[in-house]
Amino acid sequence: MAGRRWWVGADLAIDLGTASTLIHRQGEGIVLDEPTVVALDAASGALVAAGSRAKEMLGRTPGTMRAVRPLRHGVVSDPDVTEQMLRYFTDQVGISRVLRPRMVICVPSEVTGVERRAVEEAALRVGARSVYLVEEPVVAAIGAALPVTDTQASVVVDIGGGSTDAAILALGGVVASRSARVAGDALDEAITQHVKSELSLLLGERSAEEVKIAVGSAYPLAQEHSTRVRGRDLLTGLPRTVELGSGQVRRAIDPPVRQIIDLVRALLDRCPPELSGDVLGRGVTLTGGGALLPGLEARMQHELGVPVTAATDPLRAVARGVGRCVDDFAALQPVLVDGHRF
């Protein structure tokens, strides 16, 4: 029984992302990995489904339901729906209303005070004893096993679903950081707009994401591919299937890819001269789902002139890093942004 009491009272680390939500429970690792999507009853606003089941409903719901993503660009866009989703997810992993846990939640590096309070208040209402916030680049670097407490600098670029956060880290702190609300979702939107303007075909959100995963790239590949996608013809209103190649998709997503590279270039321009040698030696580490885009490492390295590598399992780097904040809270507390404590 004592073990059960420890389990339900264990602290939680939450990677609350635009695309996915991951929860790490103290001493156990990642216990939940679900899409950040909810399905609601259109009349009452009550939660019908969350996570994978709700994502399957995107673009398919009847008039009595609506499927929504409560976070946009890495921040809470609908506090009430976010609270419902968090409550559902924390109930799934087991949370005690008596032995309330501490929660550590990551946020974009340039989040506003209002956006930060929205996250804190949602976590407190679902049962947190106290809430601590940590900047995404910091935990991404920790999760990528970078020596963030060294005197030598490390550079991490976290490309999520809604935002890209880049930072130069040394001595456990952020030396310089840049953030932009352009990331994986912007690539999907670019594909949707390209197909709409060039082929007069309307694609759904999920279809655009599938095209990106299947044939998207940031740099010419040794072997190019193509994929077939179905959408609605804007002229006839009827379903139509088209074939998209790697080169065509690469041209479609080039503007947001350039924005991400320009963000990193602007960060490196702010690097203190004393740390420039460290950056040239260690290079840039990519984390987040965007790090999986084929050719991105090669293109960044070509345009920036520094080594660029993707972290091992970049999708979970932030979750691993924020998880370490609860597994070794005392050692990592200096990197946390103060939140509510009760």
pLDDT digits (tens, 9 = 90+) for 153-203: 999 999 999 899 999 998 878 899 999 999 999 999 999 999 999 999 999
Among candidates 164, 258, 242, which has minimal Cα distance to 201? 242
295 assigned ligand-binding residue = no
List the one residue out of 61, 60, 81 whose CA is nearest residue 69.
81
Buried b (16+ CB within 10 A) or exposed e, 55-73: bebbeebeeebbbbbbbeb
> Mean pLDDT throughout 98-122?
86
From 85-99, 124-138, 142-156, the region with the lowest mean pLDDT:
85-99
* Cβ neighbours, 10 Å, residue 28: 12
Residue 332 has pLDDT above 90, yes or no: no
The reply to whether 113 sits in an annotated binding site is no
Residue 292 assigned ligand-binding role: yes
Residue reference for tokens 């994978």: 52
Is the pLDDT at 337 greater than 70? The verdict is: no
Q: Is 122 annotated as a binding residue?
A: no
Task: Determine the Cα angle at 191 with ends 188 and 197, to 5°.
Answer: 140
**Residue 291 is assigned to a ligand binding site:** yes
Give the span between the Cα atoms of 193 and 221, in whole angstroms.
Answer: 23
Residue 219 CA to residue 208 CA, distance in Å, equals 19
Q: pTM of the prediction? A: 0.89
- Give the tokens for residue 109: 């590096």
Are residues 157 and 268 in contact, defined by beta-carbon separation less than 8 angstroms? Answer: no
Q: Does 162 show up as a binding residue in the annotation?
A: yes
Residue 43 has pLDDT above 80, yes or no: yes
- Give the HSE-up count for residue 238: Cα atoms under 13 Å, Cβ half-sphere: 3
What contacts 126, CB < 8 A, 6 or more positions away? 83, 86, 87, 90, 95
User: What is the C-alpha to C-alpha distance for residues 205 and 142, in angstroms, rounded to an integer?
Assistant: 32
Pull the structure tokens for residue 29.
Answer: 């690792």
With b for 16 or more beta-carbon neighbours within 10 A and e for fewer, the 268-302 pattern comes to beebeeebeebbeebbbbbbbbbbbbbbbbebbbe
Least confident of 81-85, 105-109, 336-340: 336-340
CA torsion through residues 181, 183, 189, 191, sign: positive
Q: Is 27 a known ligand-binding residue?
A: no
Domains and CATH numbers, the chain: 2-37+71-138+317-335 (3.30.420.40), 140-182+259-314 (3.30.420.40), 184-253 (3.90.640.10)
CA distance 138 to 144: 10
Is 51 annotated to bind ligand? no
Report residue 104 CA to chain centroid gap. 16
289 annotated to bind ligand:
yes
Q: What is the pLDDT of residue 58?
A: 82
pLDDT (tens digit, 9 = 90+) per residue, 270-294? 888 888 888 888 999 999 999 999 9
